[in-house]
């Protein structure tokens, strides 16, 4: 009777390859190839940043220099976007306006994210009374429409671009606190977090090293999508006289002053408005692309 032998599998010549995680830049390029809208968003945002950063170098004229003999010149070779009621070059003012709008958006979102990280992180991780108190505090701000709350705060502080950014930040941070709280609640009881607790990691280390890095994807998507909204909000406050003061080349203020002459001098408010439109469109398209890249349920690879 033949002896029973256990079959063996020879793996000496087998080659095992593990799929590598694609880098974010590679995903961006893949998404740009698959979607023309995603490519358009990336290009618009990149050009907006470049033009804003290089505005002092490429602007053909001083954005605040008054030149009354040349006021309301129609668009032409000398002034591609025409001039306004003070003879100032609309193209130069629009370039500087992009710079101001993007800086305001970066400042507001940085502050809102910072406040949201602290309060939302504490609320989600600690739970109990701390969670209840902090979320009811956030609900006080969420009870008002964002624009109405920002208008009230800006009116109380007085008209200036700095006060407008403070007002928008005060109206915006609760959304980030809510988002971060939800993400922390989702991951704080995962096994790797429990393992960190068993090994004696402090609460601060667990939050910074293990929980918050796993909340980055939705935060990045929300930040990108909010760029356009914050640009519109700060421009709206300036349009209503609660933001940047003249002669600051802020896009909302330019539209406000140019609207009085829209019928005869259409270019004065039109080109600043188109500048806002293009920036907001680019930010929204980029946000959609980033969501498709970072959300496993949305991307097809």
Average pLDDT, the chain: 86
Is the residue at 114 inside a domain?
A: yes
Range of the structural domain that residue 144 is part of = 25-294
User: Can you give the pLDDT at residue 296?
Assistant: 54
Report whether the peptide linkage leading into residue 116 is cis, meaning its omega lies within 30 degrees of zero: no
Residue 12 lies in a domain: no
Number of domains within the chain:
1
Q: Is the pLDDT of residue 14 over 50?
A: no
Work out the percent of the chain whose per-residue pLDDT is above 90. Answer: 61
Tell which wins on pLDDT, 254 or 30.
254
CA distance between the termini of the chain: 54
The answer to the question of residue 1 being in a domain is no
C-beta pairs of 125-130 under 8 Å, 24+ apart in sequence: 125/184, 125/188, 125/203, 125/206, 125/207, 125/211
pLDDT band at 281 (very low <50, low <70, confident <90, very high): very high
pLDDT at 27: 67
Confidence of residue 160 (pLDDT cuts 50, 70, 90): very high
Q: Are 258 and 265 in contact (CB under 8 A)?
A: yes
Task: Confirm whether 45 is domain-assigned.
Answer: yes
Model pLDDT, residue 8: 46
For 6-15, 20-29, 100-109, 229-238, which range has the lowest pLDDT when averaged over its residues?
6-15
Output the pLDDT for position 9: 40
CATH of the domain at 50: 1.10.3720.10
Is 217 part of a structural domain of the chain?
A: yes
pLDDT of residue 22: 53
pTM: 0.85
Q: 148, exposed or middle or buried, with CB in 10 Å at 0-12, 13-18, 19+? A: exposed
Condensed to tens digits (0 to 9), the pLDDT of residues 217-238 reads 889 889 999 999 999 999 999 9
Domain annotation covers residue 264: yes
In this prediction, residues 190-195 reach a mean pLDDT of 78
Question: pLDDT at position 30, please?
Answer: 72
| Residue 3 falls inside a structural domain | no
Q: Higher-confidence residue: 227 or 29? A: 227
pLDDT at 24: 61
Query: Rounded mean pLDDT of 247-266?
Result: 92
At 210 the pLDDT is 79
* Position 105 in a domain: yes
pLDDT recorded at residue 28: 63
């Amino acid at each position: 009777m033949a002896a029973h032998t256990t079959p063996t599998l020879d793996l000496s010549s087998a080659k095992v390859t593990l799929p590598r995680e694609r880098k974010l830049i590679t995903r961006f390029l893949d998404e740009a190839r698959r979607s023309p809208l995603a490519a358009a968003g990336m290009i618009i945002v990149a050009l907006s940043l470049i033009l804003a950063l290089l505005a002092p170098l490429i602007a053909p004229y001083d954005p605040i220099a008054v030149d009354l003999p040349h006021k309301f010149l129609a668009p032409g070779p000398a002034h591609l976007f025409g001039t306004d009621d003070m003879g100032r070059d609309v193209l130069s003012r629009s370039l500087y306006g992009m710079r101001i709008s993007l800086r305001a958006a970066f400042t507001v979102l940085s502050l809102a994210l910072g406040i949201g990280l602290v309060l939302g992180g504490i609320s989600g991780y600690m739970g109990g009374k701390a969670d209840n108190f902090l979320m009811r505090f956030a609900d006080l701000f969420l009870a008002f429409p964002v624009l109405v709350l920002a208008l009230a705060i800006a009116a109380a502080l007085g008209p200036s671009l700095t006060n407008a950014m403070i007002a928008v930040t005060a109206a915006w941070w609760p959304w980030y606190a809510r988002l971060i709280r939800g993400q922390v609640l989702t991951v704080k009881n995962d096994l790797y977090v429990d393992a960190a607790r068993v090994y004696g990691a402090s609460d601060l280390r667990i939050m910074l090293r293990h929980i918050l890095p796993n909340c980055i994807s939705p935060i990045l998507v929300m930040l990108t999508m909010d760029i356009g909204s914050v640009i519109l909000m700060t421009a709206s406050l300036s349009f209503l006289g609660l933001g940047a003061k003249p002669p600051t080349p802020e896009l909302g203020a330019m539209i406000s002053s140019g609207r009085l002459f829209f019928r005869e001098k259409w270019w004065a408010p039109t080109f600043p408005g188109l500048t806002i439109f293009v920036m907001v469109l680019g930010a929204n398209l980029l946000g959609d692309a980033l969501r498709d890249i970072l959300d496993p349920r949305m991307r097809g690879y």
